[in-house]
Amino acid sequence: MTRTSLTVGYVPGATPAKWARTWAQRRPEVPLELRAVTAAEAAAGVRAGAVDVAILRPAADTSGLAVIPLYEETTVAVVPTDHILSAADEIAAADLADEPTLLPEDDVVGWGDAPGFPIDHRPETTMAAIELVAAGVGVLIVPQSLARLYHRKDLTYRPITDAPTCPVGLAFPEGQQSELVEEFIGIVRGRKASSSRGQSDSAPKRTAREKTLAKQAARAAAGKVARRPGRAGRGRR
């Protein structure tokens, strides 16, 4: 059965709007639904067919899925606005060495040797961890997009210069894809509307001789046959 719509899942902090706009321009007859999913359910949603593709952070279990890298996010530390670390424009991992840190159950950074010392309590979600940061319980390390998503007036964030980046990718089932999924993959990869994976290569360029012959043929058709090049005849001695 041919699909007549496309459903794109996206995790918190992801911004699929620009690709959705491009889709609407190229395929206005095919509805595209953007569906917010949690980091924990994004990959499972693709495997189960709840969404056709998902924009997610590959720290999740992506078994059975193909993942195309999209971009890398800066890793930041979220702190209260009156925290000593807020005085700097950016910080290093060593600056967090003595700080209590929060590690939510839905952590997407996956920084195995992250600085600081984790507190015993693990909040269920990043949003819940943000509340604890505001209460002065500890520092939270997240991708920059999540710091922006959960921004509060009493909190700020600083880039961690030597932290690993947080990748974001497009996940879809392994194997052959439908035409609509292939179309969306092309859009996120920046493929132009005129191009196609199945499109035949353009005709090869003509050689200089072929161009000369074509010009001569055109002149002949116009009654302006060019004299054939050659040396003028010499008289016999």
Structure confidence by residue, pLDDT tens digits, 213-224? 656 655 655 554
Residue owning tokens 């999924």: 181
The bridge status of strand 32-36 relative to strand 65-73 is: unpaired
Pairwise CA distance, residues 34 & 151, whole Å: 23
Q: How confident is the model at residue 58 (pLDDT cuts 50, 70, 90)?
A: confident
What pLDDT shows up at residue 222? 54
Q: What is the pTM assigned to this prediction?
A: 0.76
Output DSSP code: residue 86: G
Give the chain's end-to-end CA distance (angstroms, integer): 87
Boundaries of CATH 3.40.190.10 in the chain?
6-72+167-188, 75-164
Q: Residue 164 above 70 pLDDT? A: yes
In CATH, what number does 6-72+167-188 get? 3.40.190.10
166-203 per-residue burial string, b: 16 or more CB within 10 A, e: under 16 = bbbbbbbbeeebeebbbbbbbbbeeeeeeeeeeeeeee
Pairwise CA distance, residues 211 & 57, whole Å: 53
Pairwise CA distance, residues 170 & 168, whole Å: 7
Report, at the CATH architecture level, how domain 75-164 is classified.
3-Layer(aba) Sandwich (3.40)
